[in-house]
Structure 1
Amino acid sequence: MKRLCLIFLVSILTLTGCWDQRQFKNVKLALSIGIDQGSNGEIVKTVSVPTVSGGGEGGEISETIQILSTEGHTMLDAREKIDRMLDQSFNPSKMKVVILGEDIAKKDIYPVLDSYYRNPNSNLNAHLAIVEGEAKDVLSFKGAGEARISEYLKGILNGATAASRTTGENLQMICAELVEEGEDFTVPLMKLDEENNTIKFNGLGLMSGESYSGVKLSPEQAPLLMLMMGYKGRVAQLTKKVNEHQKEKILDYITVEVMKYENDLKIHPSEDEVRVDIQLDLDVRVVEYPHDHLVSEKVIDELNSKLKETLTNEAEEIFTVLQEANSDVFSIGRKIQAYHPKVWEKIDWKEKYPEVQFNPEINVKIQQHGIVN
């Protein structure tokens, strides 16, 4: 018995305990954060902070959301000023969304994200998005069905990822892309739709280096770009025009869902010319074709050909936009640097990228056309 007591006492002495614990009751959690460019060159930081009260002895739990905004010389300066408005310390460890206003996104965005990368308490799984306008207006939006604006914004971004309209990358995943040469990325765009009293996903913002280029791809173009890049969410649907001058406009279109895809990218670099061949093979099912007559193999072959032509032309338009934005989202430069270092040393990639010859080919094969012929 004495031996057992001795072992027990020694074990207690060797336990570290919870010396580094952080009690949530002692902090205010910022679940969504907006960053805008101030009129005097300062940063405008806006946060949404929930406060939960009640619930004792069977009482009802109520929640209020504070939207606080202030200017600061740096992100931490603005955070310190927000701390003065709260009865407890401000904490970003549970943030879900970081929204950048369009004006500040067009500058180098790393300085405004730097404090999150340096703080071990930051949630680097948070989504990053750009709003067309000011982030402050989005965080102050009151029309959402969700009580928390953070849940509403996160739901929009998760839905866009599931529908193959964006990559779903978080703060941690884009960090390397921000600092690596020859590699760019896309950021989801949001827009406050005052007419319909909602916030909507409005396409993909194209980054060029550390800054938003100001050039975007539409929500309709986004799924094809994602498939060419090798990203597919839970579902990928494409609605395209395959007929002309039918008696009703609805008969001109077909909607297909991608069942399977294979993409192949080949780079042929030289000091004088860089050529990139991209092939995307799609196996699809028809989910809507009001024109009908899909029992005919001839009709299906014609639709395959029309979809190939339409999607290949759209891919060419996408690459034109990417080069206009000088946005290397396929990391062509990074691949040349890794596999063709002698060529890389002799070219200025920022000047060379707009001259790259992209040759996309999109092949489509209808595998299923539903239970209705």
Structure 2
Amino acid sequence: MKYKLIKVLSICLILSFLTGCWDQKLLKDTMFLSTVAYEKKKDKVISTIAIRSYTSKEGTLVNKTYHVAGDSPRDDRTKINQQVSGIVMSAKKRIVLFENQLAKEGVLELSDVLYRTSESPLTAKYVIVEGKPSTIVELQQVGEELIGEYLDGVVHTAEVNSLVPVETLQSLCTVLFDEGKGLALPYVKLNTENKTVDVIGTALFNEDKFSGITLNPEESKVLLLLGNQKGKYMIMSHKITIHDQQYVVSYDVSGAKAKMHLTPDAMYGAKVTIPLHVKVSINEFTKNEMSSPALTKKVQEEIEKILQKKAEKVVGKLQKANCDFLEIGREAAAYHPSIWKRLKWRQDYKNISINPKVQVEIIHRGIIN
């Protein structure tokens, strides 16, 4: 009897220390935000928000779009909560759109509320929009997809096909606070004719500010090759000239490996050489046959020339934008501390010498060859 009494008292004592559900948020009182677009008008931040809800008859998901103007994203959220019949949560937010002009003022300040809120989804994607991003959210849905799911699918497809770098809310923070790294985000615009969104390239950043310099899709692919960030697929196509005749050659990038050699330099502060070895599989060649080793070598040389020219152009744009996407600064800090300490990286990066060296190898010429 005494043992049972002690056991009961012990259980009661333990239960008194349990907090219970003191911080519950019921789903029936919650409205989930799927997409938000930020733009600026005078001194106000304009938020266009897509909130998912269910129709009363069929129980299907629909979007409701809200527009608010406030002093900050948190102020906008407070005003949204005054307009809806529930508590707005961002746990299912997938895409954050920024107007290109607003992004030039910096994205970190607008992101502060996301990093301080525990419900913020760390896998959300940032996208820069040419023009007003509110016009994209106002589409509400494209085909059978709601705008949040549609935009998430567009960005994911672009990442898989090596059109844009993979960047999330979580990884973006580590890039912005590291002096030896540079940020690049997907760049899109509204296709007014088809009422869809086109991925038109990559936006380059100087710290957290959009530099105004962009890469087109072909240049974006070369950027990812130089940074060893190729996605699952990468298909490229060029016009080449052989014996004064033009042909179209298309190929899959089967594999690529870029290395980095960094040395001190009296004139530029540092000299960087980036050997890039690209293995390709030909999947289209309008000359039809490609059985001759001499012809194969000529096609290989032509592709090499084109990629070399594009790589040099990409590096030039990176330095003009002061965007160290290739993480040369991290390489210097880790393996060449004397160079890192001598240079003020933010100021000196755009003046160092960066020389890509592209080498192409055709490993497959198609099933008929």
TM-score of the alignment, normalized to the shorter chain, above 0.5 = yes
* Equivalent residue, structure 2, for 1:302: 298
> Which deviates the most, 264-273 or 314-323?
264-273
* Equivalent residue, structure 2, for 1:27: 30
* Equivalent residue, structure 1, for 2:47: 45
Aligned AA (1:358): I
Shift of 1:270: 4.2
**Aligned counterparts, 1:353-364, within 5 A:** 353-364=349-360
Distance 2:189 2:89 in 1: 27
Distance 1:110 1:296 in 2: 55
Distance 1:21 1:294 in 2: 67
Q: Deviations over 1:86-131 (max 9, x none)?
A: 1111111110001111111001211100110011111111011100
**2:351 is the alignment partner of 1:329:** no
* Equivalent residue, structure 2, for 1:349: 345
Distance 2:75 2:21 in 1: 30
| Partner-residue secondary structure (3-state), 2:349 | helix
Is the Cα–Cα contact under 8 Å of residues 201 and 214 in structure 2 kept in the other structure? Answer: yes
Shift of 1:183: 1.7
Structure 2 residue ranges without an equivalent (≥5): none
* Equivalent residue, structure 1, for 2:231: 233
Shift of 1:229: 0.4
Task: Indicate which of 217, 220, 230 corresponds to 1:219.
Answer: 217
Shift of 1:203: 0.2
Task: Indicate which of 238, 253, 273 corresponds to 2:248.
Answer: 253
Q: Deviations over 1:150-173 (max 9, x none)?
A: 111111100010001122210100
Is the Cα–Cα contact under 8 Å of residues 185 and 328 in structure 1 kept in the other structure? Answer: yes
Aligned AA (1:266): H
Distance 1:75 1:272 in 2: 46
Is the Cα–Cα contact under 8 Å of residues 161 and 233 in structure 1 kept in the other structure? Answer: yes
Distance 2:102 2:29 in 1: 32
Number of corresponding residues: 365
Is the Cα–Cα contact under 8 Å of residues 271 and 343 in structure 1 kept in the other structure? Answer: no
Is the Cα–Cα contact under 8 Å of residues 175 and 183 in structure 2 kept in the other structure? Answer: yes
Structure 1 residue ranges without an equivalent (≥5): none
* Equivalent residue, structure 2, for 1:150: 148
Shift of 1:244: 6.0
**Aligned counterparts, 1:49-128, within 5 A:** 49-54=51-56, 60-128=58-126
Shift of 1:142: 5.1
**2:177 is the alignment partner of 1:174:** no
Shift of 1:245: 8.8
Distance 2:51 2:127 in 1: 19
Shift of 1:20: 3.8
Identity of aligned residues (%): 27
> Which deviates the most, 190-199 or 19-28?
19-28
Aligned AA (2:251): V
* Equivalent residue, structure 2, for 1:205: 203
For the aligned residue pairs, the C-alpha RMSD in angstroms reads: 2.5
Give me the TM-score of the superposition, normalised by structure 2: 0.91
C-alpha spacing 1:311/1:155, structure 2 compared with 1 (3 Å): same
| Partner-residue secondary structure (3-state), 1:31 | strand
Aligned AA (1:243): T
Is the Cα–Cα contact under 8 Å of residues 286 and 366 in structure 1 kept in the other structure? Answer: yes
Distance 1:341 1:261 in 2: 28
Aligned AA (1:30): L
Distance 1:43 1:116 in 2: 15
* Equivalent residue, structure 2, for 1:365: 361
Shift of 1:372: 2.4
> Which deviates the most, 15-24 or 306-315?
15-24
* Equivalent residue, structure 2, for 1:265: 260
Shift of 1:233: 1.4
Give me the TM-score of the superposition, normalised by structure 1: 0.90
Is the Cα–Cα contact under 8 Å of residues 246 and 252 in structure 1 kept in the other structure? Answer: no
Distance 1:214 1:293 in 2: 44
Shift of 1:347: 2.4
C-alpha spacing 1:116/1:271, structure 2 compared with 1 (3 Å): farther
Distance 1:287 1:26 in 2: 54
